[in-house]
Amino acid sequence: MTMTQKILARAAGLPRVEAGQLIEAKLDLVLGNDITAPVAIREFAKTGVARVFDKDKVALVPDHFTPNKDIKAAEQCKILRSFACAQNITNFFDTGEVGVEHALLPERGLVGPGDVVIGADSHTCTYGALGAFSTGVGSTDMAAGMALGTAWFKVPSAMRFVLKNRFTDPWVSGKDVILHIIGLIGVDGALYQSMEYAGDGLNALTVDDRLCIANMAIEAGAKNGIFPVDQATRDFLKEVGRAQYTEFAADADASYTRTIEVDLATLRSTVAFPHLPSNTRLARDSGDVKIDQVVIGSCTNGRLSDMRVAARLLKGRHVAKGVRCIVIPATQKIYLQAMKEGLLEIFINAGAAVSTPTCGPCLGGHMGVLAKGERAMATTNRNFVGRMGHPESEVYLSNPAVAAATAITGRITDANELV
Amino acid sequence: MTAQGTVFRYGDNVDTDVIIPARYLTTSDPAELAAHCMEDIDQTFVKRVKKGDMIVADANFGCGSSREHAPIAIQAAGISCVIAKSFARIFYRNAINIGLPILECPEAAAAIQAGHTVSVDFDSGVITDKTTGKTFTAVAFPPFMKELIACGGLVEYVKAKRAGK
């Protein structure tokens, strides 16, 4: 069995499972945010179930339109707050504590190896970085998960990605691995499947790199992305105080629909052009594309390592005239650490705006919405039509180094051009 | 159960951001969501759509965000069925969970054009393009999903499961 299949088999109480089999698996965590949870809470009420299956295994993270952007957003958050209070939910994170959900939950030790996690947010697949099976679902699935503590799954087949060697370009990171892969296989290249990572290249990937890579599995249509557990994972879990977990590894004879090798040494900073994450080019081959706004943040690239990369480039430099640069540390912990390290001072001196944690601009919610005809370079995960604002605006996706370099020059720029 | 209506035709990778843009997600009211359905790729959709009409699209329909507001908006706009070459997996789950009929049928998706009148027999999975007279058969649902659909969606399934305990 693949790693995913082994986790699902245990959660379903079965000795083995096969691709295509429908199973009912026990859940270790059910997640929702301020967009999806209000619908889930409404549907939960319809089930007639009085209490959630486990008050410690439901996470409510109002991160999208928060701090409340308008009256309607405030009403949505109020639904979460009231439900959390009534159900005595342990893991409800209000403004002041909240961070972007997929950065926050790993940091809180709420997700770990062997866990089965569903979240009413498509980027729930992020936790595969830590050896969990985690996948995005809709609000009704979340409601049923809260009611029953189980969810139905079709056991996925898997594609295997063998990562070799290590990065040789100092500005290349996990984002380039996943953009390269999506560029290769397309936005439905892994439809309904797992993306399982293997190879000696894993040793060179930080946990932040892996979180970024697993985060965008959905952008290839995948059910989940998953990494083997190694010392880097264990060190991370120790740091965040997650003591109990079960490690799974794929069987040596596991079957894969396809194996793709990725040589990390040859990867260069990659940009996804509008309007699909698969529309990739190398940053250095992007031509003279003028940018109006840069966003550095999100569940994909709003972690401390991303802040550090951006600061390294922005230190002693200035955002180009006519460019708005918005930096959003993904959690309060990251924000505080960035402050202690002097990164926020660097951003502000460079002429960037620094925001409290929020998903905000990634989905055109608030804190950096685009006008007609404007272009953004963002470290986020989607560049669909209208994603960040006006339907005639454009979003380009990149790693934080390209984003910071682009903020400085005002056009798509490989960081190597500046350093 | 059968449905008949006029076809709205879209291409590959229709994502949930264009089905219902995030700027409208501060509500989950079906009627409010329906008023903005598809507006970023088809501003005339809301004005033209009539109850019973259908959406026919190519590959990976409903990709992107997990927002259930997308199938809710489509359903509330009056769409009786979405036929596509393939569906993104979260959209597929969501549609079944809320009772929006969807059919996977690459042949129908390739042949049916905008404005055609199409009828669907959900029991047999037979899709008939009344404009051309051609018929197609959709990929059958696995038994568990048939049970979910027969229950009337996931909430009803949960109720039935709890009652059975």
CB-CB neighbors (< 8 A) of A192 in chain B: 89
pLDDT in tens, A327-357: 999 999 999 999 999 999 999 999 999 999 9
Chains A and B form CB pairs within 8 A to the count of 146
> Of the candidates A144, A191, A364, which has its C-beta nearest B60's C-beta?
A191
CA nearest neighbour of A337 among A358, A306, A367: A306
pLDDT digits (tens, 9 = 90+) for B14-73: 999 999 999 999 999 999 999 999 999 999 999 999 999 999 999 999 999 999 999 999
pLDDT of residue B146: 82
Put simply, the chain A residues between 258 and 317 with a CB less than 8 A from any chain B CB are 276
Residues (pLDDT < 50) of chain A are none
User: Looking at the complex, does the CB of residue A131 fall below 8 Å from at least one CB of chain B?
Assistant: no
Q: Are A313 and A352 in contact (CB under 8 A)?
A: no
Q: Which residues of B touch A75 (CB under 8 A)?
A: 26
3-state helix, strand, coil in chain A (%, to 5): 35, 20, 45
Distance CA(A352)–CA(A344), nearest Å, equals: 9
Query: Among all residues of chain A, which has the CA nearest to that of B17?
Result: A387
pLDDT tens digits, one per residue of B83-104: 999 999 999 999 999 999 999 9
Angle of helix A207-215 relative to helix A231-239, nearest 10 degrees, comes to 100
What's the one-letter identity of residue A97?
E
Of B71, B97, B162, the CB nearest to A141: B97
**Gap from A162 CA to chain B (nearest CA, Å):** 25
A221: which chain B residues are within 8 Å (Cβ-Cβ)? 60, 63, 88-89
Nearest to B55 by CA among B95, B15, B109: B109
A327 CA to chain B: closest CA distance, Å? 21
| Residue among B17, B41, B142 whose CB faces A382 most closely | B17
Cβ(A239)–Cβ(A106) under 8 Å? Answer: no
The reply to whether residue A140 touches residue B90, judged by beta carbons under 8 angstroms, is no
Query: At residue B75, does pLDDT exceed 90?
Result: yes
Tokens describing residue A216: 């965008």
Q: Which residue of A has its CA nearest to B59?
A: A188
Identify all chain B residues contacting A136, using CB atoms and an 8 Å cutoff.
Answer: 66, 90
C-beta atoms of B13 and A141 within 8 A: no
> What is the average pLDDT across B149-158?
88
User: Taking the CB of residue B64, how many other CB atoms lie within 10 A of it?
Assistant: 27
Residue A278: closest CA among A221, A350, A211, A346: A221
Q: Is the pTM of this model over 0.90?
A: yes
Instruction: Supply φ then ψ for residue A405, to 5 degrees.
Output: -65, -40
Q: If you measure CA to CA, which chain A residue comes closest to B89?
A: A192
Look up residue A317 and give its DSSP letter. Answer: -
pLDDT of residue B1: 82
Q: What is the DSSP string of A212-235?
A: HHHHGGGGGT-SEEE----HHHHH
Q: What is the model's pLDDT at position A50?
A: 97
Is A349 an 8 Å CB contact of chain B? no
Cβ neighbours of B68 in A, within 8 Å: 36, 39, 120, 138-140
Beta bridge partners of A282: A270
Which tens digit of pLDDT belongs to each residue from B102-137? 999 999 999 999 999 999 999 899 999 999 999 999
Contacts of A369 in chain B (CB under 8 A): 23
In the prediction, which pLDDT does B165 show?
56
* Mode of pairing for the β-strands spanning B54-57 and B81-84: parallel
Give the 3-state secondary structure of A358-382. Answer: CCHHHHCCCCCCECCCCEEEECCCC
Element of type H or E holding A74: helix A71-86
Residue B98 C-alpha, separation from nearest chain A C-alpha, in angstroms: 7
Q: Yes or no: say if A122 and A214 are a contact pair by the CB < 8 Å rule.
A: no
pLDDT value at residue A327: 98
- Position B164 pLDDT exceeds 90: no
Q: What is the pLDDT of residue B162?
A: 83
Interface test with A, best of B10, B36, B65, B102 (most A CBs within 10 A): B65
